[in-house]
Structure 1
Amino acid sequence: MPNPEMLSGLLDAALGEIALFAAIGLLIGAIDDCAMDALWLLRAARRRLTVYRRHRPATVATLPPPDAPGCIAIFIGAWDEGDVIGAMLCHALDHLDHDDFRIFVGTYPNDPATAHAVETVQANHGKGALVRLVGGSLDGPTTKAECLNRLWIAMRAEEATTGTTYKAIVLHDAEDVVHPAELRVFDRLIERFDLVQLPVMPLIVPGSPWISGHYLDEFSEAHGKQLIVREAIGAAMPSAGVGCAIARPAMQRIADARGGLPFDADSLTEDYELGLRIGEGGGRGVFVRLPTADGRSLVAVRAYFPATIDAAVRQKTRWLTGIALAGWDRLGWRGGIAERWMRLRDRGAILSALIVTAGYLALLLWAASTTLHAVRGSSGPVLDPLLITLCQINLGFLGWRLLMRCWMVWRVYGPHEALRAGPRMLISNIIGIMAAWRALLRYARTPPGAAARWDKTHHRFPVTIE
């Protein structure tokens, strides 16, 4: 067993190496994040000083009607959603402010509860005839992409029977709280763009302000800044899989290129890939933050997100596996500098989590080394001056990162949640680290060509909706 002096030396050496790796990695990530912040701030300042001096910001109230109104198809893949799909459909049918839409719901033969909930809405709701139940021959879970492909086939069959062509396809999940005005926004803007993405605004699950609440912070930045910059610099717009409309011709082009089915049944993140493939084909995507009227709430999708550590890790593992790992293999590195930068950011999430892991490990080693030095009656660990300088710089960047996150949350959810955003960053980091390691292990253990499965989390629908 090493003596205290030898153990202290080993701790100090490990501390120096791991801390230096973490400090350099964190600095690179901080510079990348600050570049994103700077572009967003510059864009916001330019629009405030030029565009908004000549034109009032658009709202749903000032949005002109579509040139050629059309029927909109809403696709919902539903595996094991018997607890929420009925309430979601009723809310959508009661609130969507549009004259012409149909909802296609995909279910599975070994999930009778979900099919029964959809059939109940069809039979008992006054607008139940607008809902299409699309079963399948495969037991679930397959993948969400396989389910969406069945909905595409059903929609095509209906078009052939009725002679009517749908104008756009809207993607939603079974737990989504749809906004009444969203189809009006889609109907107008899909005439100019191939993909229209609305913001996603997570709701806090009762009793879980810290775990479910960390999604508020992440989406406030992602959908309040990052997607805006992505569009501004000309990178492809990834679909969030909910609150997203795809023009019917754009979806058909992708289907034709893939042998008739637009979604890749082997993909875990079919929505993300769909947006990038539209961009690769020359299609235009837009991210729309549109208030209903001056100063009022945004047209956005609201939903509960996972409320426990295990569920959050499972969900983010799927995201990381599909985007950061499988996405690298499936989509490669295409496009110009802006597109490659955005793909690097998407796929860097795994590496970022590993760097943060090293940072936390360095803190533990520093605490252990300091304690051991104190027990031995010697001064604390001697750190390299370069490492000390890097740590000071990173501390400054951390302060800026906290300020930006709190501000982005304040803009959407107000001061109460903004105050929670700082402490929740620790929770976000821990969940990200756990998901990154799980994604790496899962990816490494998956044999080439193995069938993907829909690893979904349990969903809830709000009892009351403000």
Structure 2
Amino acid sequence: MQAAQGLEYAVACLQTAERELLLFVAFWFVIGALDDIGVDVCWLWLRATGRGRDTRISRGIAEAPLEGRAAVLIAAWRESAVIGHTIAHALGAWRQQGLVLYLGCYCNDPETIAAAMEAAGDDPRVRVVVNERPGPTTKADCLNQVYAALCRDEQHYGWRYRSIVLHDSEDMVHAAELAVIDGALGQAEFVQLPVRPELQPASPWVAAHYADEFTESHAKSLVVRDALGAGLPAAGVGCGFSREIIARIAVRRGQAAGPFPAAGPFAADCLTEDYELGLLVQREGGRSRFLRVRDDEGGLVATRAYFPARLEDSIRQKSRWIHGIAFQGWDRLGWDRRLVDSWMALRDRRGPLTAIVLACGYVLVVVEGVLGLAALSGVHGGVPVSPILQWMLRACAVAFVWRCVFRFLFTAREYGFVEGVSAVMRIPVANFIAIFAGRRALVSYVRSLRGAGVIWEKTEHHEHPVFASAGAALR
């Protein structure tokens, strides 16, 4: 008898927990759904009015001469496996003589230096900059060293760059990228092009979920931000800045007087210096643009890259993004006065809350399973569900179906029908990564509040996407 009463009491406690979890999860799911649907409605309106469609570029624009000199900045730490392929591919794709690739390396990384110099050969368009401080420092610190070298070159040769383009050491660029950025910088100070993650057959769940997320983000969310005139974050790849706005941001960071200051435009103590740099453009009075352009064959002018294929690497990378964007972004950038910018900042910084809500949602699934087993064993009872909670649960179900449809459509459009279906099946994988990345980011942020230094926990790269496209033209 006592055992039966104890079991009933335990079930009653679980039912109470079930109701509270339902209330918490349903409330935030509805809020999140309204947020996402707001962006969806804006995008549908843009599509209906013809403003959200990709534009086309004319044949031969990739070979068009640049209006001014362009510097491409790349930070590399232990990238000997891929940096040579990146350099060779970029030099082959970009034929313009007004281009200089600046490769930032470290004195204690001779393998990367050797691979970069071998790939560069005698091409005068490559400049290897060696950081005298042993690596890894931070990516921003490395880029600041490269920027200082760029400033020295400008003074030495007596000319000035027109644009500064950022890329990563594993990127596969589009031949028309420089021409598109160069042309757009006539009407803007910052231009961001899409990022297209490459599928990896060996990682159909972890690596492929980046394709789902980036495709929807860079075909919808950033299109809406651009149309609304909100500040645009830089992705750190495929993004170009006018030389003047970079100089102004460097001054904003308290750059000391003199031609070769140690400081630079990149925040050395920030984990997402690219994200911050893009938003600072608007605060400096510059205009930002996100451009979706397709070449004459219909291929997207975008940066192709491999993303982490292992679960632990993906969690580490996304925790860095959450720490830098959500926690450091709040601390460093605060909030904007414009409503649209505050809305977008809330969207950017919801990662920690999303992790908590998703974790509670999966705990709720476990609780429901235990209660189901209890009911099968003859222990019944229940907590009444209020009409408001019933309404929220129905809204959550509709919102989930809506989200699945959008995820399918965007992924299928870029990667095909099969990947569109797989994108829906990968949603739990993305949620699992988000939960653990949010937890890791919180721990990292608390450590930083206690005085721990910022460390460049970069993703290791062992393969280059150029091999995946060896048998096909770059699209």
CA distance in 2, matches of 1:330, 1:269: 11
Asked if residue 332 in structure 1 is aligned to residue 334 in structure 2, the reply is yes
Q: Extract unaligned runs of 5+ from structure 2.
A: 256-263
CA distance in 2, matches of 1:270, 1:378: 55
Equivalent residue letter for 1:267:
C
Q: Deviations over 1:332-382 (max 9, x none)?
A: 002300000000100112111211111111111111112112213436665
Asked if residue 206 in structure 1 is aligned to residue 190 in structure 2, the reply is no
Partners of 1:143 and 1:454 within 8 A in 2 = yes
- Give the aligned partner of residue 405 of structure 1: 407
Partners of 2:165 and 2:238 within 8 A in 1 = yes
**Counterpart mapping for 1:11-30 below 5 A:** 11-30=14-33
Asked if residue 364 in structure 1 is aligned to residue 362 in structure 2, the reply is no
Equivalent residue letter for 1:269:
T
State the secondary structure of the residue aligned to 1:235.
Answer: coil
Equivalent residue letter for 2:115:
A
- Give the aligned partner of residue 74 of structure 1: 72
Equivalent residue letter for 1:29:
G
**Counterpart mapping for 1:136-147 below 5 A:** 136-147=131-142
Equivalent residue letter for 1:179:
H
CA distance in 2, matches of 1:64, 1:311: 35
Give the one of 199, 214, 229 matched to 1:234: 229
**Counterpart mapping for 1:233-382 below 5 A:** 233-260=228-255, 261-293=264-296, 296-378=298-380, 382=384
Root mean square deviation of aligned Cα: 2.0
Equivalent residue letter for 1:291:
R
**Counterpart mapping for 1:116-195 below 5 A:** 116-123=114-121, 128-195=123-190
Equivalent residue letter for 1:36:
V
Using structure 1 for the length normalisation, give the TM-score: 0.94
State the secondary structure of the residue aligned to 1:458.
Answer: coil
Tell me by how many angstroms 1:57 deviates: 4.2
CA distance in 2, matches of 1:324, 1:250: 25
Partners of 1:97 and 1:183 within 8 A in 2 = no
Q: Extract unaligned runs of 5+ from structure 1.
A: none
Tell me by how many angstroms 1:461 deviates: 0.6
Tell me by how many angstroms 1:98 deviates: 2.4
Partners of 1:370 and 1:380 within 8 A in 2 = no
Partners of 1:313 and 1:432 within 8 A in 2 = yes
Q: Deviations over 1:242-284 (max 9, x none)?
A: 0000000010111122233111110100000001111111111
Tell me by how many angstroms 1:447 deviates: 3.8
Equivalent residue letter for 2:146:
L
Tell me by how many angstroms 1:64 deviates: 11
Equivalent residue letter for 2:323:
T
Using structure 2 for the length normalisation, give the TM-score: 0.92
- Give the aligned partner of residue 6 of structure 2: 3
Partners of 1:67 and 1:188 within 8 A in 2 = no
CA distance in 1, matches of 2:60, 2:404: 36
Partners of 1:369 and 1:380 within 8 A in 2 = no
CA distance in 1, matches of 2:123, 2:65: 28
- Give the aligned partner of residue 440 of structure 2: 438
Equivalent residue letter for 1:16:
R
CA distance in 2, matches of 1:58, 1:176: 23
- Give the aligned partner of residue 105 of structure 1: 103
- Aligned length in residues: 457
State the secondary structure of the residue aligned to 1:73.
Answer: strand
State the secondary structure of the residue aligned to 1:216.
Answer: helix
Partners of 2:107 and 2:130 within 8 A in 1 = yes
Partners of 1:97 and 1:181 within 8 A in 2 = no
Q: Deviations over 1:50-93 (max 9, x none)?
A: x99xxx94424397998971110000000111110011101111
- Give the aligned partner of residue 458 of structure 2: 456
Partners of 1:60 and 1:185 within 8 A in 2 = no
- Give the aligned partner of residue 91 of structure 2: 93
Equivalent residue letter for 1:92:
A
- Give the aligned partner of residue 218 of structure 1: 213
State the secondary structure of the residue aligned to 1:106.
Answer: strand
More displaced stretch, 380-389 vs 315-324: 380-389
CA distance in 2, matches of 1:222, 1:417: 16
CA distance in 1, matches of 2:319, 2:298: 35
Partners of 1:198 and 1:301 within 8 A in 2 = yes
CA distance in 1, matches of 2:58, 2:115: 33
